[in-house]
Structures are given as structure tokens and as C-alpha cells.
Amino acid sequence: AKLGGRDRIAVFDPSMYTAAVMEAEARTELERGLGADEFTVVYQPIVDLPSGLLIGVEALARWQHPTRGLVGPDSFIPQAERTGLIVPLGAHVLRVACHEVAGWHSAIPGAENVRVSINLSARQFQEPDLVDTVRAALADSGIRPHLVVLEITESLLMHDVDATVVTLHELRELGVQIAVDDFGTGYSSLSYLRRFPIDILKIDKAFIDGITDDSDDATLAEAVVGLGKALRLSTVAEGIEHADQQEMLSQLGVTYGQGYLFARPGSADEIAEMVRAAYR
Ligand code: C2E
Ligand code: CA
Ligand code: CA
Ligand code: CA
């Protein structure tokens, strides 16, 4: 008998069954973690490039899991996106980050202009109440809105252009800034980017890695910086690990940098100490 077509449906595929069970278990586990308040936020400094002065931080989610220990986002954000749980999780990160950084503004003299960048996933953009969620997080924390940067990925921009443009305008009316994350990994062209109300381009680490030994990467980084300048946006280079990368990027005119060279992500207390030291 021929296998395939309709016949194939009758074949029991244990791997499909296993995948479905694992997905359901992951969802339950995520829900439990959210209910038990196990998700925390760490912060990675963003610095002014020539000087290295800390000017802001990026909020990054972590899961303080009772048996698995401290879990990084690569192993739960994709599941949270698939199950839709990224919506409450993302709102939690937003609230915590605005609240903690607003605390630094009032507790650390000189640090009242430190910015906080928060990642938003495409799934959060599909929620009709995203703008209300952001408005509430700003109001509850008392943070000044222009110090909040919402990071969205380039692929999100390509998704549903008209709806995204409307939402971005609404967000910007709240006073927050918009950054395009992982820039260079998608397909946006100059004319395309002009349609979006954005403030900052974050150049993906992939372009930064080989910048000092691969002339193609250097040319690409230069092109991205040129794009940012043409659109009058500030630029952030991600994943800077070596001093010669900092040197080269700052010569190219990149505004800000982020990476292990300056600091790894740290707890709110650890990074508050760095902020204190930077503005002492
Ligand atoms: P991302 O937004 O591109 O964040 C930067 C990632 O690069 C972080 O990883 C950071 O720790 C890492 N990184 C920074 N500097 C360096 C460096 O010099 N070298 C290397 N090798 N890595 C560096 P992390 O914290 O594991 O986050 C991974 C991704 O998970 C993030 O990438 C972001 O896409 C996602 N993510 C994290 N938190 C959230 C969140 O609250 N919401 C959403 N939607 N996504 C999040
Ligand atoms: Ca980011
Ligand atoms: Ca990024
Ligand atoms: Ca990245």
C-alpha cells in the first residue's frame, strides 16, 4: 500500500506526541514560575562610546528556578512567545525595570538621567492594550518617560507594517523612545526604515564580532552607522568585548556601546553600585 497523502495521518508519530506533551509541560511550568514570582530582571550597562561613561542599562529577564537555578532567556523566551505567556512576563519585566531604575534616579545623586531599555516581543505588539500597559508602568513607577527605551526587533517591523506604525506612534506619544534591536540581521532598507518612528538603531553583535579582523564586517558596520546617521538616529553597538572594537566603533561615529568589555549583566543591586560609582 502507498504511504503518504491521507494515509500518513493514521500513522502514530511518537515524536509529535512527545513534542506536544513537552510544550504543555513547558507552559504549565512557565505559568507556575510566573505565579510564584520567580522571574527577575538583571541589567547590563550601556555606555557612551568615546568616554565609556554609563548612560543607561538594558533590562534582561532571568528565571530564578527552584531546581534549575538561574535560567537565561534563550531557554524560556521562545516558549513564552509560543504560548502567549510573554504578554504577562513582558509586562512584569516592564514594571520591575521602570520601578527599579526610577529608584536609582531618586536614590543616586547625579544619576537622574540614566536610561532603561526594555525588550518587547512581537507577540506583545499584537495585544490591543500594549499602550495602556506601558502607560500604567510609567505612571506607577513615576519614571520620566523619555528615559525609557522600548527595544523591538527588525523582524517585528516587517510583520504588519501599518498596525506597527500606528502603535509606535502611540507609544512615542507617551514620551518613550524606540530602538530597533538586532539591526542588520533583517532586511530593512533605508526607504523602509523611514516609515517608522524610531530613535535608536542597535547594531547586532554579529557585525561587531569580526569588525577588527574582517574588512567585510567593518564595511557592513560602517554602512549601518551611515544608515543611522542618514536617518538622524543614535546608534548602539552590541556585544563589544575588546578595546580595539570600542576604538574602531567610536572612530566610525557609533554613539553608544554595550558588551562584556564594559560590564556583564548584573543584579539590580550590583548595577546600582556601578551607577553610583559612575556618578560619584
Ligand atoms: P538581546 O536583546 O540582543 O540582548 C543582548 C544579549 O547579549 C544579552 O543576552 C546579553 O547578556 C548578551 N551580551 C551582551 N554583551 C555581550 C558580549 O559582549 N558578548 C556576548 N557573548 N554576549 C553579550 P541574554 O540576557 O541572554 O538575552 C538574550 C536575548 O533574550 C535578548 O537578546 C533578548 O532578545 C531576549 N530577552 C531577554 N530579556 C527579555 C525580555 O524581558 N523580553 C523579551 N521579549 N526578550 C528578552
Ligand atoms: Ca535587546
Ligand atoms: Ca540585541
Ligand atoms: Ca542580539
168-191 residue pLDDT tens:
999 999 999 999 998 877 766 667
State which ligand 1 atom lies nearest to the alpha carbon of 260.
Answer: 18
Rounded CA separation 223/231 (Å): 12
Q: How far is the CA of 151 from the centre of ligand 2 (A)?
A: 6
pLDDT in tens, 148-168: 999 998 888 877 888 899 999
Interface ipTM > 0.95: yes
Mean per-residue pLDDT, 125-145: 97
Mean per-residue pLDDT, 193-202: 92
For a substitution probing ligand 1, which of 46, 77, 267 has the most ligand atoms within 8 Å of its CB? 77
Q: How far is the CA of 1 from the centre of ligand 2 (A)?
A: 53
Q: How far is the CA of 179 from the centre of ligand 2 (A)?
A: 9
pLDDT band for 9, please (50, 70, 90 cuts).
low
Question: What's residue 202's pLDDT?
Answer: 94
pLDDT in tens, 19-41: 888 888 889 999 999 999 999 99
Rounded CA separation 279/57 (Å): 14
Q: How far is the CA of 165 from the centre of ligand 1 (A)?
A: 25
**Pocket lined around ligand 1, Cβ cut-off 6 Å:** 44, 60-61, 72-74, 77, 86, 90, 93, 119, 121, 181-182, 239-241, 258-260, 265
State which ligand 1 atom lies nearest to the alpha carbon of 118.
Answer: 41
- Whether 248 contacts 80, CB under 8 Å: no
Q: How far is the CA of 233 from the centre of ligand 1 (A)?
A: 22
Strongest mean pLDDT among 54-63, 120-129, 228-237, 246-255: 54-63
Sign of the Cα pseudo-torsion (149, 155, 159, 165, in order):
positive
Question: What's residue 11's pLDDT?
Answer: 67
Ligand nearest to the CA of 149: 2
Question: What's residue 18's pLDDT?
Answer: 83
| Torsion-angle region of 169 (φ positive above 0: left; ψ -120 to 50: alpha; else: beta) | alpha
Higher model confidence: residue 2 or residue 59? Answer: 59
The yes-or-no verdict on residue 194 having pLDDT over 70 is yes
Closest C-alpha among 264, 271, 262 to residue 108: 271
For a substitution probing ligand 1, which of 47, 62, 119 has the most ligand atoms within 8 Å of its CB? 119
Mean per-residue pLDDT, 121-135: 95
Q: How far is the CA of 230 from the centre of ligand 2 (A)?
A: 23
Average pLDDT of every residue of the chain = 91
Question: What's residue 15's pLDDT?
Answer: 77
Q: How far is the CA of 60 from the centre of ligand 1 (A)?
A: 6
Ligand nearest to the CA of 209: 1
pLDDT band for 275, please (50, 70, 90 cuts).
very high
| Torsion-angle region of 80 (φ positive above 0: left; ψ -120 to 50: alpha; else: beta) | alpha
For residue 6, the tally of other CB atoms under 10 A from its CB is 7
- Whether 68 contacts 30, CB under 8 Å: no
Rounded CA separation 191/242 (Å): 33
Residue whose entry in the numeric block shows the C-alpha cell 494515509: 7
Ligand nearest to the CA of 208: 1
